[in-house]
Chains A and B, each alone.
Chain A
Amino acid sequence: MSAVDVQAAITAITQAHREEWARVVAALTKRFGDLDIAEEAAAEAFAIAVERWPADGLPPNPGAWLTTAATRKAIDRIRRENKRDDKQREARLVYDDDPLEPVGAVDDERLRLIFTCCHPALAMEARVALTLRMVGGLTVPEIARAFLVSETAMGQRITRAKAKIKAARIPYRVPSAGDLPARVSGVLAVLFLVFNEGYLSTGPDTDPVRHDLTAEAIRLARLIRALLPADGEVVGLLALMLLIEARRTARVSASGELVTLDEQDRGAWDTALVAEGHRLVRERLVAAAAGVAPGRYQILAAINAVHTCAHDVRDTDWSQVVALYDQLVRLDPSPVIALNRAIAVAELDGPEVALATVDRLEGALSGYHAYHATRADLLRRLGRSQLSRAAYDRAIELAGNTAETAYLTRRRDQLG
Chain B
Amino acid sequence: MQYLMSVIHDRSDLATSDEEAAIDVFNDRLRAEGHWVFAGGLGVPDPATVIDNRGAQAVVTDGPFLESKEYLAGFWIIEAPDLDVALKLATEGSRACNRKIEVRPFL
Contacts and interface: CB of A to CB of B under 8 A. Distances in A.
Contacts of A179: 84
A94 B81 contact: yes
B82 A171 contact: yes
B87 A167 contact: no
Interface in B41-83: 81-83
Given A167-B105, A168-B105, A169-B105, A121 B87 contact: yes
Nearest to B104: A168
B76 to A, nearest CB: 16
Contacts, number: 26
B83 A168 contact: yes
A175 B87 CA distance: 13
B84 A175 contact: yes
A170 interface: yes
How would you classify the secondary structure of chain A's contact residues: helix, strand, loop or mixed?
Answer: loop
Nearest to A179: B84
Contacts of A170: 82-84
Contact of A171 (B84, B104, B105): B84
Nearest to A92: B1
A118 to B, nearest CB: 13
Contacts of B103: 168
Interface string B1-27: 100000000000000000000000000
A94 B1 CA distance: 11
Contacts of B1: 169
Interface centre among A121, A168, A170, A175 (most CB of B within 10 A): A168
Among B1, B83, B87, B107: residue with most chain A CB under 10 A? B83
Interface centre among A169, A170, A179, by most chain B C-beta atoms within 10 angstroms, is A169
Interface in A146-173: 167-171
Nearest to B3: A168
Interface residues of B, number: 11
B82 A94 contact: yes
A170 B107 CA distance: 14
Contacts of B84: 170-171, 175, 179
Interface in A209-239: none
Contacts of B81: 94, 169, 171
A388 to B, nearest CB: 45
B79 to A, nearest CB: 12
A45 to B, nearest CB: 28
Interface string A81-113: 000000000000010000000000000000000
A239 B76 CA distance: 46
Contacts of A121: 83, 87
A171 B103 CA distance: 15
A175 B81 CA distance: 14
- The listed residue with most A CB atoms (<10 A of its CB), out of B86, B104, B105, B107, is B105
B80 to A, nearest CB: 8
A156 B103 CA distance: 22
Residue from the set B82, B87, B103 with the largest chain A CB neighbour count within 10 Å: B82
Contacts of B87: 121
A348 to B, nearest CB: 44
Contacts of B107: 167
A171 B85 CA distance: 10
A63 B105 CA distance: 37
A169 B87 CA distance: 11
A119 B107 CA distance: 21
Given A94-B81, A119-B83, A170-B84, 11 more contacts: A94-B82, A121-B87, A167-B107, A168-B105, A169-B1, A169-B83, A169-B86, A170-B83, A171-B82, A171-B84, A175-B84
6 contacts: A94-B82, A121-B87, A167-B107, A168-B104, A169-B105, A170-B84
For the complex of A and B, 6 pairs with smallest distance between CB atoms: A171-B82, A94-B82, A169-B82, A168-B105, A168-B83, A170-B83
